[in-house]
Amino acid sequence: MGPSFDLTGKVVVVTGGSRGLGLAMASAFAEHGADLVIASRKGDACAAVAADLRQRFGRRALGVPFHAGNWADCSRLLDTTWAELGRLDVLVNNAGMSPLYPSLTGISEELWDKVIGVNLKGPFRLAALAAERMAREGSGSIINVSSVGAMQPTVGELPYAMAKAALHAMTAGMSHAYGGRVRVNVIMPGAFLTDISKAWPAEMRSEMERQVPMGRCGEPEEIVGAALYLASDASSYTSGAVIKIDGGWAYRAG
């Protein structure tokens, strides 16, 4: 990739960065010169990923335990980032969850609060705090990771889909709030073969693949190009955008 994709000297925080799409993005950022903060619920997993990135790419990398639904953790994560690495250039709001439930009326208040907390409340707070600091320092990029469920929700993931749809509204609003100082965008992935996909029933995967024009689910590394674009100066005139990465999976807007 050309020099506009170079991330040397930049500090990137990736929530949910210890596995799946978050790990693929974090590895690509480090390969292109960035220093990383890997944040997720499991501190040991974060520390292991950070150590691997340091060894493979010679970049500074820090693992920080982090609960995406906890507002206090949002402040602590950013304070730790600035204290240890001195700045923040890119925030990737990638952490998410979508637990199973028996029916719409069977959704408990506890499940609802947990899903909205991790997928919307926490990302909003983290983005707001990060954007405020980034704006004071003159620039920054926030990448919110959504889902095609935001545009094509199904009954089995409705609270999750609702939270992800709200991320789109949040992104549009924040892109206006911070103008050209902080760019705020969405990556909207379809079905990807992360570690979570190993639990999918065979018929579920087959049904997904039948709906995808490319005839297959994505590999985690296929998210990397869009992430590098939005994190780097290559996207200097891109803000408030939603980039759909789903193999052409059709959806009905509205």
236/4 Cα distance (integer angstroms): 9
The enclosing H or E element of 122 equals helix 122-137
Phi-psi region of 248 (alpha: psi -120 to 50; beta: other; left: phi over 0): left
3-state secondary structure of 66: coil
Residue 160 is a catalytic residue: yes
E strand segments, the chain: 11-15, 35-40, 61-65, 90-93, 140-145, 182-189, 242-245
Catalytic pick among 160, 229, 237, 251 = 160
- Token pair of 57 as six digits: 């790419």
The enclosing H or E element of 174 equals helix 158-177
Which of 119, 131, 22 lies closest to 69, judged by CA?
119
Alpha helix positions (H), 5-61: 20-31, 43-57
Active-site residues, by number, are: 160
